């Protein structure tokens, strides 16, 4: 018991059908009994490293400083390293597949990085190691409770020994900004990798009507300040709650309307002469 127990924010692709999430909570509760656990979510599509990385990046500034535990690990059983990173926000624990990288960058980068290898920091398994339960959760709990310093978990790593995550940047050609859908939320809103500044740089501003191209289909959609600027059922473009350009339908689903899903290319441009700022 210590006054300094840190909260642990936990994201995975385990889903909630099995007892996996509960077992990780159990390990955390045993090893860090005074830490609050926040479930950032466990509904990431199985093995979708990029989706988990983006969710953590959107969430991190709203989570209490402490330990971020991110377990989306399609390469479990391979030789990928297990990471613990120290940042100004706190600690990040997860597999070395890039899933931690964008959120770590968002909080200013890591000041220290180790490969979790110390056998004393692990729980023995009766069979195949369940890394979430036997390795990542104990490491997170030891850091949260203050029972271990990051250097106790394993050897230090240099920046080039850690896997980055290559996120596509939007590409501007003339007056056309080419990007892609990054995320479709459960309400059918489509977040892109395009920021409002990318549009401003080509002379577009809120109030403009944009030409949105998805595959062979072309749509004229207004850049609105909020949902209520359009009628129910109408498309709008807006800066979403993460600060990115998103396509939405008021009281509807933009992904279905435009046949958009994560990873699909989208281009935005002005219509006619209106793009002149």
Residues lying near a copy of itself in the complex (CB under 8 A) are found at 7, 9, 11, 14-23, 25-27, 29-30, 33, 36, 38-43, 46-47, 55-56, 58-59, 62-64, 74, 76-79, 123, 125-130, 133-134, 185-187, 196, 226-228, 238-244, 246, 250-251
Pick between residue 9 and residue 211 the one whose CB is nearest to a copy of itself.
Answer: 9
In terms of Cα–Cα distance, which of 1, 2, 9, 3 is closest to 89? 9
Least CB distance from residue 156 to a copy of itself, whole Å? 25
Least CB distance from residue 123 to a copy of itself, whole Å? 8
Rounded to whole angstroms, the Cα distance separating 164 from 201 reads: 28
Rounded to whole angstroms, the Cα distance separating 144 from 130 reads: 20
Pick between residue 80 and residue 219 the one whose CB is nearest to a copy of itself.
Answer: 80
Pick between residue 29 and residue 178 the one whose CB is nearest to a copy of itself.
Answer: 29
Least CB distance from residue 84 to a copy of itself, whole Å? 21
For residues 2 and 146, is the Cβ–Cβ distance under 8 A?
A: yes
Phi, psi of 162 (to 5 degrees): -110, 135
Least CB distance from residue 24 to a copy of itself, whole Å? 8
Least CB distance from residue 272 to a copy of itself, whole Å? 26
Burial of 74 (0-12, 13-18, 19+ CB in 10 A): middle
Rounded to whole angstroms, the Cα distance separating 63 from 65 reads: 6
Pick between residue 112 and residue 129 the one whose CB is nearest to a copy of itself.
Answer: 129
Q: How far is residue 18 from each of residues 14, 22, 273, measured CA to CA in Å?
A: 8, 8, 56
For residues 153 and 218, is the Cβ–Cβ distance under 8 A?
A: no
Pick between residue 34 and residue 152 the one whose CB is nearest to a copy of itself.
Answer: 34
For residues 183 and 192, is the Cβ–Cβ distance under 8 A?
A: no
Pick between residue 29 and residue 209 the one whose CB is nearest to a copy of itself.
Answer: 29
Least CB distance from residue 55 to a copy of itself, whole Å? 5
Least CB distance from residue 216 to a copy of itself, whole Å? 29
Burial of 46 (0-12, 13-18, 19+ CB in 10 A): exposed
Residue 45: CB partners within 8 Å, gap ≥ 6?
A: 13, 51
Pick between residue 17 and residue 216 the one whose CB is nearest to a copy of itself.
Answer: 17
Rounded to whole angstroms, the Cα distance separating 35 from 96 reads: 25
């Amino acid at each position: 018991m210590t006054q300094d127990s840190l909260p642990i924010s936990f994201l995975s692709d385990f889903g909630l059908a099995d007892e996996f999430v509960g077992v990780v909570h159990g390990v955390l509760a045993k090893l860090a009994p005074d830490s609050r656990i926040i479930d950032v979510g466990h509904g990431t599509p199985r093995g979708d490293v990029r989706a988990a990385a983006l969710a953590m990046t959107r969430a991190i500034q709203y989570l209490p400083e402490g330990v971020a535990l991110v377990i989306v690990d399609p390469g479990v059983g391979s030789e990928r390293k297990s990471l613990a990173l120290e940042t100004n926000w706190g600690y990040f624990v997860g597999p070395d597949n890039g899933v931690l990288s964008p959120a770590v960058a968002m909080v200013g980068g890591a000041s220290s990085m180790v490969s979790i290898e110390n056998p004393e920091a692990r729980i023995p398994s009766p069979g195949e190691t369940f890394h979430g339960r036997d390795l990542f959760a104990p490491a997170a709990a030891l850091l949260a409770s203050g029972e271990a310093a990051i250097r106790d978990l394993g050897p230090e790593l240099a920046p080039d020994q850690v896997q980055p995550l290559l996120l596509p940047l939007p590409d501007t050609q003339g007056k056309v900004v080419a990007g892609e859908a990054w995320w479709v939320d459960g309400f059918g809103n489509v977040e892109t990798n395009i920021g409002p500044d990318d549009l401003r740089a080509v002379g577009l501003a809120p109030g403009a009507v944009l030409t949105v191209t998805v595959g062979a289909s072309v749509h004229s959609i207004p850049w609105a300040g909020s949902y209520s600027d359009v009628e129910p059922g109408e498309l709008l473009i807006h800066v979403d709650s993460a600060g990115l350009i998103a396509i939405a339908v008021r009281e509807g689903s933009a992904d279905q309307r435009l046949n958009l899903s994560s990873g699909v290319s989208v281009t935005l441009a002005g219509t006619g002469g209106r793009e002149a700022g």
